[in-house]
Structure 1
């Protein structure tokens, strides 16, 4: 993976957060931040990578920072999120609530009690 913020791939750091907010495809984030990626990893884990990047960015305080520093941090968060899923599966990382709530090591707890139809007494004629 290439280094961020113009070390090997020059990128435009001007107002980077606003520009990132306007992107939609995962590939666009990698392109804007000048980060190379394996399409196989991205195809399998794109939503997980982007969600994790958002989680990492939410922990950052960008107030009073210059564009270059903000871009470097944004780049680092995407690289970190990408590496999380390049080295591990989405199931192992459990980014989304549906995966967080379901532990495959535990048996599923039924949310309703099952009552067989033949155990019911008829209330009238069917």
Structure 2
């Protein structure tokens, strides 16, 4: 395990990750979306191919870019729209009820 990955495993707060990677952030955005940002960062890391093969400098840059992307998702959106966690995904599915279904049907004249 390289030094950067070892360091990251010690962090628990979104601010620690953002500070480590030198990403400027608004406290208000982080206070409301900290778990969503970290979860999205993790999702982006899982989607990224070849991270483990990078040298430490390239890996740092790539992780930084992924975290910045995750943070920016919540600067321009919100947790309900981004649907990172299952509770938001389930809420959208439940909100498509009978009334919404009826409204999509053509009216008979």
TM-score range, shorter-chain basis? Answer: 0.7 to 0.9
Give the structure 1 partner of residue 74 of structure 2: 85
> How many residues are treated as equivalent by the alignment?
95
Task: Measure the CA separation in 1 of the matches of 2:57 and 2:43.
Answer: 21
TM-score of the superposed pair, with normalisation by structure 1: 0.70
Residue 106 of structure 1 pairs with residue 96 of structure 2: yes
The partner residue of 1:50 within 38, 56, 59 is 38
Q: CA deviation at 1:102?
A: 1.6
TM-score of the superposed pair, with normalisation by structure 2: 0.80
Which runs of 5 or more residues in structure 1 are unaligned? 1-13, 109-126
Q: CA deviation at 1:101?
A: 1.5
Task: Measure the CA separation in 2 of the matches of 1:43 and 1:88.
Answer: 14
Task: Measure the CA separation in 1 of the matches of 2:86 and 2:60.
Answer: 29
Matches within 5 A, 1:50-69: 50-60=38-48, 61-69=50-58
Which runs of 5 or more residues in structure 2 are unaligned? 99-109
Task: Measure the CA separation in 1 of the matches of 2:67 and 2:43.
Answer: 10
Larger-Rg structure:
1
The partner residue of 2:65 within 76, 97, 102 is 76
Alpha carbon RMSD of aligned pairs, Å?
1.7
Q: Would you tell me which structure has more helix in proportion to its own residues? A: 2
Q: CA deviation at 1:41?
A: 0.4
